[in-house]
Structure 1
């Protein structure tokens, strides 16, 4: 049973809120997209069911997943480490692939603010990489907060990763070439999963791709204040999502670094990472800070901050020049990684 979720505080008790910096402008091509999307109210505990319904409508249907017959998909249900019997994995591969190919694995963790989304919410890049780069893609269905707070979602992700590594041969996959991929909340879970797998001596990963990752429950970076009341996921929504995940304890002293990777003191011995984020979004500074700490820990990392990009701009406006640049950079990094 979860505790009562506290309101979405933006300043901890006893603190004076720093003055917010002027909001950054959006990329000119993105301005009409933002206008067309209109105002989006902040996420509150009461609006979680409606938000789930809205996000759920974006799940990819079978025809989209099959990409004109080029991809084949199946599902497997595996038992979680804490007894959860319902960790479902959506597994895709090129339709003409044979088990002998031993394809690289993209282990994908979906976004949705930790409170919404499903295994069918794959970002468009992952679908394209599966087709064009010939990967086995495993998308994990993890339990959602607040009904299932930390560590349940992360343990589901870990259980799916274990199963994927142990059953690589039957998937026609190479267990030595597993790349973690996560977007938004999934990016934070993927980062936590990399830490957990390292510390448990679990499956080794070849790399990690963290797209606008949700990393820091403290919610007090300059970008979180700068983008307050702006964009698709503002500071108040962020506080609601984190409090759902952490059972009302977001920003407190006892938060695990596996839950909020920005709190991790030791980032050494992690696989190479690719991080990107928009300059005009809440997660900008925690992403930049995490990349810097990876470098300081001796971890190879590539970071891109896309000027004027809002959260999810590449999915909402994929034909803009900025989105094309972002997609091209991600693919080049992944191709280089898989070629090593």
Structure 2
């Protein structure tokens, strides 16, 4: 059981980031062999102040592009923490890009959103330099990164020249910052900054609140384990999509904990990745 002192530490940005970093070995330093890829570049400058990790597949392109919006909480995490996932994606034939968007509370909304929006435009316009096809972009988000990613899907609908997305992948997401699930979390205080209720209800922050019938959306693929605290957030989005008569694909893997899609040692991760890439093969 976590001590009160430990709880207090993770209520600070530094403590929360240190706790997230403790999962590095589970995500990255495993006995599961790395996939075959052509190259991995840990810090490619997209613009001053914004870098991304890029993994290039083996073989001849052009490859579809897979942009990763990392978790956790929009206040911690990095492309370094997601380096194995980035390489696993490239191992499945996608040009994988994991941007290091700015984190709250030092950089509250819309800083992280703006960085990810720029990264998507960069992917469309510059992916060919890396063997990618900027007309075939998949956008992934996990945990609260999924909220940011789906917020991008909705936010870009207002832009006539926005990058076109073939698919959205939401993994164990929470898509509503007004949800009671987040009421006591640090992200609810740090990410919106001083914007208050208007930011919490913005379509780029709480996209679930803005799902409507008749929306033209990319293929929506939702993945969760059924043994983690992200399940209610995924089911909230499922109900909203059903009520809005919008199509989606859902996979709930038995017994899988939070973050399982980034833990190579788990059979459930490998199963989840098979489902992921089989779905994308039909739609991208």
Residue 178 (structure 1) shift: 0.4
CA distance in structure 2 between the partners assigned to 1:293 and 1:242 by the alignment:
22
Residue 249 (structure 1) shift: 5.8
On the 8 A contact 1:205/1:271 being kept in 2, the answer is yes
Task: Identify the match of residue 46 of structure 2 among 55, 78, 82.
Answer: 78
**Residue 16 (structure 1) aligns with:** none
1:49 pairs with 2:49:
no
CA distance in structure 2 between the partners assigned to 1:149 and 1:326 by the alignment:
32
Unaligned runs of 5+ in 1: 1-37, 80-84, 225-233
1:326 pairs with 2:272:
yes
Alignment CA distance shift 1:263-1:244 (3 Å):
same
Higher-Rg member (1/2): 1
CA distance in structure 1 between the partners assigned to 2:261 and 2:46 by the alignment:
32
Q: Relative contact order (C-alpha < 8 Å, sep 6+): which is higher?
A: 1
On the 8 A contact 1:112/1:186 being kept in 2, the answer is yes
1:109 pairs with 2:69:
yes
1:1-20 pair list within 5 angstroms: none
On the 8 A contact 1:258/1:264 being kept in 2, the answer is no
CA distance in structure 1 between the partners assigned to 2:140 and 2:29 by the alignment:
21
TM-score between both structures, scaled by the size of structure 2? 0.83
Alignment CA distance shift 1:68-1:177 (3 Å):
closer
RMSD: 3.1
On the 8 A contact 2:85/2:262 being kept in 1, the answer is no
Residue 154 (structure 1) shift: 0.6
- Say which SS state the counterpart of residue 330 (structure 1) adopts: helix
- Say which SS state the counterpart of residue 174 (structure 2) adopts: coil
- Say which SS state the counterpart of residue 165 (structure 2) adopts: coil
Unaligned runs of 5+ in 2: none
1:311 pairs with 2:252:
no
Cα deviation per residue 1:93-139 (whole Å; 9 max; x = unaligned)?
A: 12x434xx2110001111121111112232755532311x2110111
- Say which SS state the counterpart of residue 176 (structure 1) adopts: strand
On the 8 A contact 1:271/1:299 being kept in 2, the answer is no
Task: Identify the match of residue 81 of structure 2 among 107, 121, 126.
Answer: 121
Residue 288 (structure 1) shift: 1.6
Alignment CA distance shift 1:123-1:216 (3 Å):
farther
CA distance in structure 1 between the partners assigned to 2:38 and 2:2 by the alignment:
37
TM-score between both structures, scaled by the size of structure 1? 0.71
1:253-332 pair list within 5 angstroms: 254-255=199-200, 256-266=202-212, 268-316=215-263, 318-320=265-267, 322-332=268-278
CA distance in structure 2 between the partners assigned to 1:92 and 1:123 by the alignment:
9
Residue 295 (structure 1) shift: 4.2
Q: May I ask how many residue pairs the two structures share in their alignment? A: 275
